[in-house]
Structure 1
């Protein structure tokens, strides 16, 4: 059952008050509002287990997520960084439901306060954030679709100082490089300064991705980008 406006406001205020009262690195356990949301999360996780399709799970998560918005808003507005399994799980669900900006909104708080992922997740928080966005972008690109470069850039900024396997970071750099190169007008007879700048930036990113992980899949992209740059550079350069 959907919450009324009054119930949403009450939940937001309670979440803010309890999050503000919990010390950094403490646990939210014992806070009444948190316990209510944790119980709801467990019920929703049981519902998700009944769905076998990954696409079906993502659709169900998208339907469930609005019910967590007041709680999330309350914690983000006043939280002091107490460990919160509801918040980090909702972050992942937002990524799964393709709400990447919403997921990164939570990720900014989670990474700043070094919140941990629940035991069922096998990756560190920073690695998970980088890989969730990067994998979605790479899948979209394989399907011939675009992915917002600003979302990739924000993800890279948020996870820049996070420890993760080089392969994971390479995925993010590769996805960013491909979106950077997609901005270049390859059909133009002569590239303008903006196109050349985009092309050079994309090449640098591809080189970095390959340096991080030699088998990241960016070598053909790099060869094509370097040929394009050479073609438009001209003999004088």
Structure 2
């Protein structure tokens, strides 16, 4: 029963009950479950520090995430919102490891309850989410790889109103706009609504950070929109 479904279920239930008992307190630090996870986290972070390769670190995080899943699922299910450095760290690990859907699920909980990031992070949780997703998307787009537009839109919605440097917000906007434009061409442009969304994102990105790199994208998007509107007027 080293890591059986039954054991994982018991771990999840124990974490949920512990979170419920600690309702109203600042941390779950008084619970056995939280202390065990902190010890595990300390051990695993020491392993990660021994690795220099970013890709290798991400691969190790993918392998480590299931260890924390029952605890994190239990805490989120209890929905008490006590500051929990395990949950906020695992949220970041999910994003680092490319597990974006899982990471954004945790981000929804972290942001809703205002959970802090670990002390070594100067960024707020909202900034972390926007920056990790924006940078990952832009890097993928540079190599021609696909990046799920749903992830970008969800990240934007979750972090709307969160305080962060303007450059971070601009990158996220730029990434979504470029993702939309990648599916449209001069011969087969996007529909007017999608093109308008891309243009709005680009204009806002440029307004926030003039050197974000979106000016040529904006010119192309406006050209494509004129083509769409011209085709519609000919019908």
Q: TM-score, normalised by structure 2?
A: 0.94
Counterparts of 1:3 and 1:39 in 2: how far apart (Å)?
18
Residue 155 of structure 1: aligned partner: 155
Which segments of 5 or more consecutive residues in structure 2 lack a partner in the other structure? none
Counterparts of 2:212 and 2:24 in 1: how far apart (Å)?
38
Counterparts of 1:56 and 1:198 in 2: how far apart (Å)?
37
Q: How does 1:78-89 map onto structure 2 within 5 Å?
A: 78-89=78-89
Counterparts of 1:78 and 1:52 in 2: how far apart (Å)?
37
Aligned to 2:68, the other structure's residue is in SS state helix
Residue 14 of structure 1: aligned partner: 14
Q: How does 1:2-151 map onto structure 2 within 5 Å?
A: 3-24=3-24, 26-151=26-151
Aligned to 2:136, the other structure's residue is in SS state helix
Residue 203 of structure 1: aligned partner: 199
Aligned to 1:137, the other structure's residue is in SS state helix
Give the C-alpha shift of residue 69 in structure 1: 0.8
Aligned residues of 1:2 and 1:67 also touching (Cα < 8 A): no
Aligned to 2:156, the other structure's residue is in SS state helix
Counterparts of 1:128 and 1:226 in 2: how far apart (Å)?
31
Aligned residues of 2:116 and 2:124 also touching (Cα < 8 A): yes
Aligned residues of 2:191 and 2:228 also touching (Cα < 8 A): no
Q: 2:217 aligns with which of 214, 217, 221?
A: 221
Residue 229 of structure 2: aligned partner: 233
